[in-house]
Structure 1
Amino acid sequence: MHLSDHDLRQFDDAYLQTLTSAQARALLGKALADLKAARERLGQNPSNSSRPPSTRLPWEGVGGQETPAGEPEVPAVSGDVAAVADTPGAAAEPEETADPRPRRQGSRRPLSGAPPGRRPGTPGHSRTQHLPVDAEQSHRPTCCAGCGQALTDAHASRAHNARYEIELIQPGVGATGLLLHQTKHTYYECACDCGHWTQAQPGRAQAEVEWTVALTEWHLAGPLLVAFICALSQRMRLSRARVREFLSDWLGLELSTATINQCLHEAGRAVAPVVEAELYAAVRNVELRYADETSWKEHGRLRWLWVFTCATATLFVVGKRSVEVVRQVLGETFNGWLMSDGFWAYRDLDQRLRCLAHLIRKAQALEDGLEPAAQRFGIEILTVIATVMAAVYDARGAPPPAGALRARHAPMLNALLNECLRQRDAPHEKTRALARELLNDWDTFWVVLDHPELPLTNNEAERALRHWVIARRIGMGTRTAQGTRAFAHLASVIETCRKRAVSPWPYLAEVVRQRRQGLQAPPLPSPAS
């Protein structure tokens, strides 16, 4: 924009009277350019820009048409503004009075000086719901921890500890409904002939530096209940509070949000070895994979959610928007084709494809604009892309000789190349940016003429991201680094299982069950035949 708000506030009739004709024409040129740019921004829609379809207003048509004649226009008000406007008295919020007491960071309450936690003598809070015990299970040590002698039921024993586990029971064949089943696990200690007492203990995975959540059988929620909570949170996009409400209303189970959060983090830690051992290898050792990235928030800090997907696997990674993430996922010796957008971090890769859908949206924006030269440039790009796509579709049905397709369309591509060279320094910003984008990645757009079997768009990666973009808009990202890792690991396993046409939840429950016992996680299910 040429004129800022500060400039516009100073312009009035008296000021305009002081300008000469040349000065007035110069000011008019700036105002006209700003007006066109503002109108083009107002005319953006999912068909001519990178805006997602969910940003289309309910009263807009599919093509982004304006409100029909005769109907009142509804102003686009953000959720926060609308909430304030609908709240009585919110418009006249009183100013805060000065308070000399210090405040906690991110809190409106002053520090009291007292230590955090429960005050001595006050009643504590613990689990108050008491469910009936449906079954009891005893756990005895099998051998003496001292001398190694086998222990049998004949040896003296006594109970030393117990725990309760609430598990979700799925219906059998021909039945419907979900049931909660509570089991009391009693752990015994046995006396060996050598005099040593050996205790049976719940299973536990070894501690890991990057995880603070424990992977142990000493947990109220059973493996399948953990998987069910993951389904509500990850797949149904419910917050911890909404998961708690659902479990209470529909299953009669009272769990705290802290317990629900622990289940999610524990499941994320349980599948971490699967992600690192199988999914990284899966997206590296294929002929074709797709990549995309979108912004992500971790406790207010900007991160990026990356997706790398292929025919049988999908991997999500949250990190910086840098080339290091690409190298971490794809490795230093990358082979095969990568379909991506125009982010510069991909440019070091030799066999790369550019998504034509991104190019179509940007060219469509030029055609819908108000600048005549930009309109002509956008029409020329759209014509070339339509011709190339039609030729690729025809070649897939009847493959031509090697190099024939490129040679046939060489004059058209050369004409577009020359036009891009002329427009790379154009005064119109969007025209200049699109011309330079084409020149930077020229060969990646038209490599499909040499390999018609390759894809034309990056829709696979964008579809893989779509569900989690909606989750980001609902939940506003994650709050901790551990929560971010758990989210990415669970999303990777869930999407990979869905891509392989198998249910992720029984597998996730089995992974949690095995890992709680300190065992290795089972491999991912094979694609359904």
Structure 2
Amino acid sequence: MVDCFPDSTCPCCGNTDVTVHDTPFYRHQVHEIPKPTIDITEYRLYSGQCQHCNELLRAKKPDHVSQGIMGPNLLSYIAVLAGQYHLSIRKTRSLLKEQFGTTFSIGAISEAQTKVASMLTPLHQAIRDSIQTAPLVHVDETSHPRNDEEGLRWCWLVASENLVYEKILFSRSMHSAKTVLGEHYSGFVVSDQCPSYNWINPEKHQLCWSHVTRNLQQIADYSGGGYTAYVGRRLTLIANMIFRIRHRLERKEITHGQYLRRMQRLQKSLDDWLEKGSTLIVQRYKGRCEKLQQHRQSLWLFLNDTSIPLTNNEAERRIRGCVIQRKISYGTTSDAGDKFRGRIHSLVETCKKRGLSTYAVLSEIVQAVTARQPYPNVFNL
């Protein structure tokens, strides 16, 4: 803080008797960052020899010292650059060199990410166990390439009210869905229409109406027009009305009774038009209508509980970071890379949900593990 005082001589009359007020009339703040520096501490270990038995004695590093060449803060910084800001290993290397003037090899940065992934193992498992007991979750999945493989792997995401769990698995199968959700999960699940979730009890499985509307719009946009496009337009209109009425309820423009009555009328209309859609000549769209009829119960769970959302947008938003990193940094090359991405994204998205600093939370974990202290319960799980 710098105090600036007026001249002791009045420019108007030349009087030198000027009384300075106790409080400033204006405050001007200038934000600046200090020059980035990196601290390098060298530990010199000496040896000695017993004068009686000639036993060779060697010094040991202090217990709190990191085993590698990177300290806890640098490890956390590298992990956050990748997980939250989607920098590739080479871009991270370039940034560190420009900021601090220190060059690390590609292998050293990759090893740093592997170390952080290992340190996040207890937290990742705790998030999984806690999220599998949540009353309602959103689930989604997206492709994840391995740069040295032709086939795809899949990044799975499960999001509850205040937790996010990500894990990269080999397939998009039902078995993978059971792995991330828990085979005996008893809460409500909001998902898209992927067949991997068909094992979930229909009384607990809400389908995303955004995906349903998008599929119905494709029927309405059928290039052949005619009766097929007409049925699609009617179905799309009903789906849009469902959103409109739900939004009116949320804005308290209608009562809950009015909401239910209008939804029940739309429910009947949708059933009628899906029945007509099941007679379409175009097999693709006919099958789409039949599938919605088959999963009819999963379309309307939100009527029984207003806490159940209409869409799976929460999972779509949370998995976006994985998609961005896939596009910028491409895929991974090892199982260690898969573990790092799943665990760091779980941490990043959970911190976003809770309004916490990812770097601060990760630094607390890495420092505790490095110093061999008790593992911190950063999310009170």
The TM-score range, normalised by the shorter chain, is 0.7 to 0.9
CA gap of 1:453–1:399, structure 2 versus 1, over 3 A, is farther
Q: 1:285 and 2:133 equivalent?
A: yes
For 2:100, the equivalent position in structure 1 comes to 251
Q: Give 2:191's match in structure 1, choosing from 317, 331, 340.
A: 340
Partner SS state of residue 308, structure 1: strand
Q: Give 1:369's match in structure 2, choosing from 200, 222, 237.
A: 222
- How far did residue 395 of structure 1 move? 3.9
- How far did residue 302 of structure 1 move? 1.1
Partner SS state of residue 38, structure 2: strand
Q: 1:306 and 2:156 equivalent?
A: yes
Q: Percent identity?
A: 22
**Please, which moves more after superposition, 432-441 or 249-258?**
432-441
Whether the 8 Å CA contact 2:117–2:343 is kept in 1: the answer is yes
Partner SS state of residue 349, structure 1: coil
- CA deviations on 1:148-190 (whole Å, 9 max, x unpaired) are xxxxxxxxxxxxxxxxxxxxxxxxx996453211111234668
Q: Which runs of 5+ in 2 are unaligned?
A: 1-30
For 1:179, the equivalent position in structure 2 comes to 37
Partner SS state of residue 43, structure 2: strand
Q: Which amino acid aligns with 2:247?
A: Y
CA gap of 1:480–1:520, structure 2 versus 1, over 3 A, is farther
Whether the 8 Å CA contact 2:302–2:310 is kept in 1: the answer is yes
Q: 1:297 and 2:140 equivalent?
A: no
- CA deviations on 1:250-291 (whole Å, 9 max, x unpaired) are 2211111111111111111111111012x1123222222110
Q: Which amino acid aligns with 1:515?
A: V
Q: Give 1:523's match in structure 2, choosing from 365, 377, 381.
A: 377
Whether the 8 Å CA contact 2:274–2:289 is kept in 1: the answer is yes
Whether the 8 Å CA contact 2:144–2:331 is kept in 1: the answer is yes
For 1:261, the equivalent position in structure 2 comes to 110
- How far did residue 416 of structure 1 move? 2.7
Whether the 8 Å CA contact 1:393–1:452 is kept in 2: the answer is no
- More relative contact order in 1 or in 2 (CA 8 Å, sep 6+)? 2
Whether the 8 Å CA contact 2:235–2:270 is kept in 1: the answer is yes
Q: Which amino acid aligns with 2:43?
A: H
Give me the whole-angstrom Cα distance separating, in 2, the residues matched to 1:487 and 1:335: 28
For 1:357, the equivalent position in structure 2 comes to 210
For 1:208, the equivalent position in structure 2 comes to none
- What are the within-5 Å matches in structure 2 for residues 107-256 of structure 1? 176-187=34-45, 197=57, 199-201=59-61, 203=63, 217-256=66-105
- How far did residue 502 of structure 1 move? 0.8
- How far did residue 340 of structure 1 move? 0.4
After TM superposition, the score normalised by the length of structure 1 is: 0.59
Give me the whole-angstrom Cα distance separating, in 1, the residues matched to 2:58 and 2:102: 35
RMSD of the alignment, in Å? 2.9
- What are the within-5 Å matches in structure 2 for residues 445-524 of structure 1? 445-524=299-378
CA gap of 1:284–1:399, structure 2 versus 1, over 3 A, is farther
For 2:20, the equivalent position in structure 1 comes to none
Q: Which runs of 5+ in 1 are unaligned?
A: 1-172, 205-215
After TM superposition, the score normalised by the length of structure 2 is: 0.80
Structure with higher Rg: it is 1
- How far did residue 198 of structure 1 move? 7.0
- CA deviations on 1:188-227 (whole Å, 9 max, x unpaired) are 66899998857434659xxxxxxxxxxx822111111111
Query: Could you list the runs of 4 or more consecutive aligned residues of structure 1 that deviate by over 6 angstroms after TM superposition?
Result: 189-196
For 1:322, the equivalent position in structure 2 comes to 173
- How far did residue 385 of structure 1 move? 1.6
Give me the whole-angstrom Cα distance separating, in 1, the residues matched to 2:172 and 2:48: 57
Q: Which amino acid aligns with 1:307?
A: L
CA gap of 1:178–1:249, structure 2 versus 1, over 3 A, is closer
Partner SS state of residue 152, structure 2: strand
Whether the 8 Å CA contact 1:448–1:455 is kept in 2: the answer is yes
Partner SS state of residue 185, structure 1: coil
Partner SS state of residue 41, structure 2: strand
Q: Which amino acid aligns with 1:326?
A: A
For 1:440, the equivalent position in structure 2 comes to 294
Q: Which amino acid aligns with 2:325?
A: A
- How far did residue 457 of structure 1 move? 0.8
Give me the whole-angstrom Cα distance separating, in 1, the residues matched to 2:87 and 2:332: 13
- How far did residue 525 of structure 1 move? 4.1
Q: Which amino acid aligns with 1:275?
A: H
Give me the whole-angstrom Cα distance separating, in 2, the residues matched to 1:245 and 1:408: 59
Give me the whole-angstrom Cα distance separating, in 2, the residues matched to 1:330 and 1:363: 28
Give me the whole-angstrom Cα distance separating, in 1, the residues matched to 2:135 and 2:311: 16
- How far did residue 309 of structure 1 move? 0.8
For 2:15, the equivalent position in structure 1 comes to none
Whether the 8 Å CA contact 1:270–1:521 is kept in 2: the answer is no
Q: Which amino acid aligns with 1:502?
A: L
Whether the 8 Å CA contact 1:224–1:506 is kept in 2: the answer is no
CA gap of 1:177–1:463, structure 2 versus 1, over 3 A, is farther
Say how many residue pairs are matched.
341
Whether the 8 Å CA contact 2:131–2:160 is kept in 1: the answer is yes
